[in-house]
Structure 1
Amino acid sequence: MILIKNARIICASSEHHMKQMDILIRDGIIENIASSIENDNAQVIEQENLHVSIGWFDSSVSFGEPGFEERQTMKNGLQVAATSGFTHIMLNPNNQPNPQDASGINYLKSISSGSPVTVLPVGNFSLSQEGAHLAELYDMHQAGAVSFYDYKHSVENANLLKVGLQYVKPFKGIIQSFPQDAQIAGKGMINEDQAGTELGLKTIPTFAEELRVARDIELARYTGSHLHIPTVTTNAALLLIDKARESGVQITCSVAIHHFTTASDALLDYNTNFKVQPPLRDVEETKKVLDHVKNGLVDMITSDHIPLTIESKDVEFDQADYGSTGLESAFGMANEALGTEQSIELLTGGYAVFQKELPKLEKGSPANLTFFDPSESYVLSKQQLSSTSKNSLFIGRNLKGKVLGTYNNQKLQWNERNS
């Protein structure tokens, strides 16, 4: 048994929202929620300014295992996710071999069992992510794949995406399409703006994203199937998605936290940690995306966590790999930019989009919880990162709010630094 004392509940769907309550958990079930609970046999969780919400959901997480264990093992990655407040993560097909049949999905589920973090595997959309032939979508769905995605690869074959959307519609499968036209993007690495000009690197115009999103909207409209656009970065693309939804198109989207908190001028010292995909946009575009996040145009926010080795980043800019870690900074950056209640809403939006039952913070429900203190401010340092790879673009940034722990799958993670 676990007794959580004097915790402020942040859960808009709960009758206890914004109230200070005690919570008693027995065998993974919330047995009682009351203003005061006493139980001599329970493990007591008590912390100054303790807040609790339903467990957070990250829709875009990459580890290394299998194939790239030097980036991040499953064990380290799940520990990082748990200590960062996430009880559910969607694991991208960004390893080797990528899951493209039922056995690949089953393997990922088997090596991630026994954790307070529930892993929801994402399978390849096309075989080997080459965009020529569909992977075994139905078999992966039956095995537990939550979505299908050629991770960070544009689906250039519009007919293949159309056929895929038609194929998954009967079993309500969800396909993700990376929002970038590969031919327009070409060999560009950063956004086409003043910073790009000063850096002298090959650039990508924003309309590479808008053009692809516009095409994909029409394919979703034609098929009537659910299409998810991950990590959208431009004002125009978000407006297109919003207009499409209003007209009845079944389309959802996410925005990576760095795309509404960090602009392309951060690249001016050639720090490769800021080399991400899609690229960081200019200050004006970044502010517009932040406004859209605040105004409800976005279904969820994501860390878009991509661990990379020193050898992948400590090279010349045009040779460096794309990506930044983000799990450990996700809440602190989101809370600083959006405030606590909206951050929690957007960090839990993935349940509805990806058809997972929304956890309940009420008596009799399975306990799926995140514990945090939203008020503590600090500067993120490399030493604070427990991820194997330290390629975070948020090192040196001011964060607000610290995660205290998680509870899920009848397992408690209580962060040692707060004991």
Structure 2
Amino acid sequence: MNLLLKGVTIADPNSPFHEKNCDVRVVQGKIASIQGKLSPQKGEEVIDGNGAVLSPGFFDLNCLTGDPGFEAKEDLDSVAAAAQAGGFTGLTLMPQTKPVVHSKAQVAYLVNKAAGYLVDIHPIGAISQDLEGKELAELYDMKLAGAVAFSDGAKPVVDDGFMSRALQYSKGVNGLLMVHPENKSIAGKSQINESKISVLLGMKGVPALAEEMQISRDIFLATYHDAPIHISTISTAGSVSLIRKAKKDGIKISCDVAAHQLVFTEELLNDFDSNYKVKPPLRDKADIKALLAGLKDGTIDAVSSQHRPHEPEHKQVEFEIAAYGIIALQTVLPLLFKAGLTVNQIVEKLSINPRRLLGLSIPVIAEGELANFTLFNPSQTWVYDQAQNYSLSSNTPLLGETLTGKVQMVYNNNQFQVYG
């Protein structure tokens, strides 16, 4: 169906219409015209933007579904529905499913099953067989089958020699390793940040050192092999400093931060609410300040959802035995506004940079381009209740909350969805 968007403010630094209020006509999946005023044509649907922002579609670097093996948590249908409701027209899927996505067969399964969605779904292949950190997975074959990067998910690569070989091999196939920053021998079985809060709660804490030591090791190895590396979901001020210096030194390093790490602090754990149990753990206000500074100066390349769905029996239990993670695809945008990011910063960190890091085509809001965009209202409030939750899971502390920043529609692959 053809569309006419009236009175939208375009936010796209690659567009000649950046920061201009325009009408946008979409015909058969392409942007046919952008002008100050356009008159409706017969048969086209008119969307009143009323000053809402039109940006390239959001893209998520760190998402987990349950397919294959854990479809009760989330299947491809539900993750696509939650993603587009959150403004995402593209995402990557982490490999820690059952079976693990560690061969071309599993990658091909996801690629074929995800064909036809509004949301572009890209598999990430495992670095190691069964995420065990012992034998390299089929990196080259997975890349040919459609894997856009390689990761062992929330499992850090422990063995230094194995990590060295993985970097060397991935460089040879023009691949990107996305690694979880945690030194297991330092972190141990601790589950929350090491601080006064952990002492007051009587729980052993994970020191920032555990994250920063792992990043330091990976910087050394990436430097040695002159290979690119991506650090997923950093959380400490020290991590920001290490990566900032590495970038200045010309090392091929990038990183992202989960949206909830920019808003939630460890003080929220005082009631032992397992919905706040995430990995890496929530840190303190000084870390959040450093993370926001890193986003603004370009040290942190992107923001991710770190969407982790779980059934109630894995989250509505005692904190120490609860699973890590929250569902997050629908709440990234409101959290970024709450954190104080501007519209242009959100577009850079949520639409443009994630695709650039993976070497994917970046949508542009310009005449003649394929339509791939998100329309959102920065000031509109909405209640994130169960009726508005498109995930199969409900493990989020934000359920029932009134949030600011509302996705109004998404368009991609000649499909669109409007949200009231």
* TM-score, normalized by the shorter chain, greater than 0.5: yes
- What is the aligned partner in structure 2 of residue 410 from structure 1? 414
- What is the aligned partner in structure 1 of residue 6 from structure 2? 5
- What is the aligned partner in structure 2 of residue 300 from structure 1? 302
- What is the aligned partner in structure 2 of residue 113 from structure 1? 115
Q: Pick from 332, 345, 348: which aligns with 1:345? A: 348
Q: How many residues align?
A: 416
Q: How far apart, CA to CA, are the structure 2 residues paired with 1:52 and 1:162? A: 43
- What is the aligned partner in structure 2 of residue 360 from structure 1? 364
Q: How far apart, CA to CA, are the structure 2 residues paired with 1:31 and 1:161? A: 48
> Structure 1 counterpart of 2:349, which letter?
L
Q: Pick from 261, 264, 279: which aligns with 1:262? A: 264
Q: Pick from 228, 231, 234: which aligns with 1:232? A: 234
> Structure 1 counterpart of 2:237, which letter?
N
Structure 1 stretch displaced more, 151-160 or 290-299 = 290-299
- What is the aligned partner in structure 2 of residue 16 from structure 1? 17
- What is the aligned partner in structure 1 of residue 207 from structure 2? 205
Percent identity reads: 35
Q: Secondary structure at the match of 2:405?
A: strand
Q: Secondary structure at the match of 1:147?
A: coil
Contact 2:6 2:50 (8 Å CA) reproduced: no
Q: Secondary structure at the match of 1:176?
A: strand
Q: How far apart, CA to CA, are the structure 1 residues paired with 2:289 and 2:385? A: 25
Structure 1 stretch displaced more, 338-347 or 74-83 = 338-347
Contact 1:273 1:393 (8 Å CA) reproduced: yes
TM-score normalised according to structure 2 size: 0.96
- What is the aligned partner in structure 1 of residue 288 from structure 2? 286
Q: How far apart, CA to CA, are the structure 2 residues paired with 1:165 and 1:13? A: 32
After superposition, give the CA deviation of every residue in 1:191-241 in whole Å (9 maximum; x if it has no partner). 001111111122111100000000000111011111000000011111111
Q: Are 1:152 and 2:159 matched, yes or no? A: no
Unmatched runs of 5 consecutive residues or more in structure 2: none
Unmatched runs of 5 consecutive residues or more in structure 1: none
> Structure 2 counterpart of 1:30, which letter?
I
Structure 1 residue 378, shift from structure 2 partner: 4.3
After superposition, give the CA deviation of every residue in 1:378-404 in whole Å (9 maximum; x if it has no partner). 454455322111111333655321001
After superposition, give the CA deviation of every residue in 1:46-66 in whole Å (9 maximum; x if it has no partner). 243332100111100111111
> Structure 1 counterpart of 2:33, which letter?
N
- What is the aligned partner in structure 2 of residue 334 from structure 1? 336
Q: Secondary structure at the match of 1:142?
A: helix
Q: Secondary structure at the match of 1:259?
A: helix
Q: How far apart, CA to CA, are the structure 2 residues paired with 1:380 and 1:236? A: 34
Q: How far apart, CA to CA, are the structure 1 residues paired with 2:105 and 2:389? A: 33
> Structure 2 counterpart of 1:3, which letter?
L
- What is the aligned partner in structure 2 of residue 175 from structure 1? 177
- What is the aligned partner in structure 2 of residue 377 from structure 1? 381
Structure 1 residue 372, shift from structure 2 partner: 0.8
Q: Are 1:94 and 2:129 matched, yes or no? A: no
- What is the aligned partner in structure 2 of residue 314 from structure 1? 316
Contact 1:256 1:303 (8 Å CA) reproduced: yes
Structure 1 stretch displaced more, 90-99 or 375-384 = 375-384
- What is the aligned partner in structure 1 of residue 143 from structure 2? 141
TM-score normalised according to structure 1 size: 0.96
Q: How far apart, CA to CA, are the structure 1 residues paired with 2:401 and 2:6? A: 32
Q: Secondary structure at the match of 1:90?
A: strand
Contact 1:261 1:290 (8 Å CA) reproduced: no
> Structure 1 counterpart of 2:270, which letter?
L
Query: Alignment RMSD, CA only?
Result: 1.4
